Amino acid sequence: MNEFWRVKSFNYDSIVVMEEMCHMSLKGKDIISIRDLTRNEIEHIMEVAVTMEPLMKTGSKILGGKILACLFFEPSTRTRLSFESAMDRLGGSCIGISEPRTSSIEKGESLEDTIRVVENYADAIVLRHPSEEAIRLAAECASIPVINGGSGAEEHPTQTILDLYTMKREMGKIDGLNIALLGDLKYGRTVHSLACALAHYYVNLYLVSPEPLAMPRQIIKEISGRIHVIETCDIEEIIPKVNILYVTRIQKERFTNLNDYERVKGAYRLTLQAIINAKKDMIIMHPLPRIDEISPEIDDSPHARYFKEVWYGVAARMALLSLIFGTIE
Ligand code: NCD
């Protein structure tokens, strides 16, 4: 039972909330945008993830017989392997396409037709695609759940679940923290989803980027009525203030004009010297891959959590899959 239940047990609102929670089931649910999940649902996934951590060592058969199709139409290392590892550790299995050129898409097959075929082979689909629109369309025509594994420069909801889970496990809480998102906030899909999810929490959110890579205005508009948002280009100023520094790479592949990329390339780089004034327990996260924005000398510092984040990601995805398959309520 989480804190939410204990605090709100005796008034009318809580009855409504408790009813909502009783009906809260992720079974069969599509996860296209992080906006598809309430704070309660995110919290619930994180509670289940804690119970998945021991299973990462022992293994389990709770998803025995279940098949996940991983359809990746953009490059991936972590997201695809992490979903595969999560299925494998729970006794399920994966099929997939990671190289569209070897699939019938290359012959001109539509995404809808591909989905109508694949739904016969699997019980859920993780789809990475350049457009969120396409992922929504896939979800509409699929009779099985579709999970967004990253949609172009738009969203990456399952990365957000593991980012929040890392925050919660490492800091013990998310409410009350000062969190900075540093880097390419314009094209980075992980920071778009993360900013929206953090609006469910009581946080101060620092958005730190070179000016041309600022967070899209519609996201700022969406979240700023709910949390305190501070935009800045000054990394040095925010370093001593934050509990969590979430760094991202510049998304070179999203630039339509390479000259624009050259202008911002290397605009920020964390070194041990740059974080000398950080709080002792400040943690640095990164969805990876890292290019040059975090110097490798930080890897062994007590602040680095980006590789631990990969580990938490498997537990978080084990939880999400168990809930979507309905093996856990
Ligand atoms: C991110 C992605 O694909 O959006 N990586 C990931 O899924 N862990 C981040 C990135 O590519 O920069």
CATH topology match: 23-155+313-325 vs 157-310: yes
pLDDT at 14: 45
Tell me how far the alpha carbon of residue 10 lies from the centroid of ligand 1, in angstroms: 43
Query: Angle between the 78-89 and 306-324 helix axes, to the nearest 10 degrees?
Result: 50
Tell me how far the alpha carbon of residue 289 lies from the centroid of ligand 1, in angstroms: 6
Per-residue pLDDT of the chain (329 residues; tens, 9 = 90+): 333 333 333 343 444 444 445 457 999 999 999 999 999 999 999 999 999 999 999 999 999 999 999 999 999 999 999 999 999 999 999 999 887 777 777 778 899 999 999 999 999 999 999 988 999 999 999 999 999 999 999 999 999 999 999 999 999 999 999 999 999 999 999 999 999 999 999 999 999 999 999 999 999 999 999 999 999 999 999 999 999 999 999 999 999 999 999 999 999 999 999 999 999 999 999 999 999 999 999 999 999 999 999 999 999 999 999 999 999 99
The reply to whether 168 belongs to the active site is no
Predicted TM-score (pTM) of the model is: 0.92
Strand partners, 32: none
Ligand 1 pocket, residue 159 CB under 6 Å: yes
List the chain domain ranges.
23-155+313-325, 157-310
Return the beta strands (E) in 183-314 as ranges: 204-208, 228-232, 244-247, 283-285
pLDDT at 105: 72
The reply to whether 221 belongs to the active site is no
The reply to whether 79 belongs to the active site is yes
d(CA 13, CA 276): 47
Architecture in CATH for domain 157-310: 3-Layer(aba) Sandwich (3.40)
pLDDT at 2: 38
39 closest CA partner among 157, 200, 224, 205: 200
Q: In this structure, which topology does domain 23-155+313-325 adopt according to CATH? A: Rossmann fold (3.40.50)
Among the listed residues 156, 168, 286, 305, the single catalytic one is: 156
pLDDT at 19: 43
Helix, strand and coil in the chain, % to nearest 5? 45, 15, 40
Q: Which atom of ligand 1 is nearest to the CA of 75?
A: 3
